[in-house]
Chains A and B, each alone.
Chain A
Amino acid sequence: GQNIDQPTEMTATEGAIVQINCTYQTSGFNGLFWYQQHAGEAPTFLSYNVLDGLEEKGRFSSFLSRSKGYSYLLLKELQMKDSASYLCAAFLNYGQNFVFGPGTRLSVLP
């Protein structure tokens, strides 16, 4: 079956750096999305990785290793507004198309 794992909760301090990990076991893997979801709101797109390596976009960076079935989202200079759930999702070539992880709820403390 298709499976994605993420830590359930993380806590970090304002101004710090936090890394949210995601591991996946899927077939037909095409790439990996990261989304941010504030409580009661819709997910918003953060990044999409297809190739191995790190992609940086402002305070957020995302890394992918296809051979290890592993990705992480790196958030720098944390702000209070970064408190949210972070969802990783595998994009598959066929069938189910998208498989989401359970999300990691990040709490940023002052």
Chain B
Amino acid sequence: EPEVTQTPSHQVTQMGQEVILRCVPISNHLYFYWYRQILGQKVEFLVSFYNNEISEKSEIFDDQFSVERPDGSNFTLKIRSTKLEDSAMYFCASSEGTPANEQFFGPGTRLTVL
């Protein structure tokens, strides 16, 4: 059964460093998403991506964040200068059609900023 994959499973970085989180969405899906979940808190939407551009983004997704689909399979989230409060689980998701369709989540990348 196709699934969304994410690498790495755990990333530890120093404050101020850049990190790139990687995701491989399900191959025939057209919409891609990033969410984050700080430990013990609710899931928060970051950004949706369609047709090689950002479709929607939340207030959290400021200039420190960027997304890219560098090739036909990968979908990346870059945080330019990490802050302690960026420590969270980051989930990538994809859906076949519009965001109103079922979204399939990857297993997540746990980011720890020291």
Binding site for B on A (CB under 8 A): 30-31, 37, 41-45, 48, 50, 87, 89, 91, 94-103
Contact = CB atoms under 8 A, between A and B. Distances in A.
B7 to A, nearest CB: 14
B43 interface: yes
Interface residues of B, number: 23
B107 A41 contact: yes
Interface of B: 33, 35, 41-45, 48, 55-56, 58-59, 91, 99-108
B100 A91 contact: yes
A94 B42 contact: no
Given A42-B107, A43-B105, A102-B42, A97 B100 contact: no
B108 A95 contact: no
B58 to A, nearest CB: 5
Nearest to A87: B43
A43 B58 CA distance: 19
Q: Which 8 A-B pairs have the closest CB atoms?
A: A42-B105, A98-B45, A97-B56, A100-B43, A45-B102, A102-B42, A96-B58, A100-B42
Contacts of A44: 105
Contacts of A30: 100
Nearest to B59: A96
Given A42-B106, A42-B107, A96-B59, A31 B45 contact: no
Contacts of A96: 45, 56, 58-59
A97 B106 CA distance: 19
B91 A42 contact: yes
Nearest to A45: B102
Contacts of B59: 96
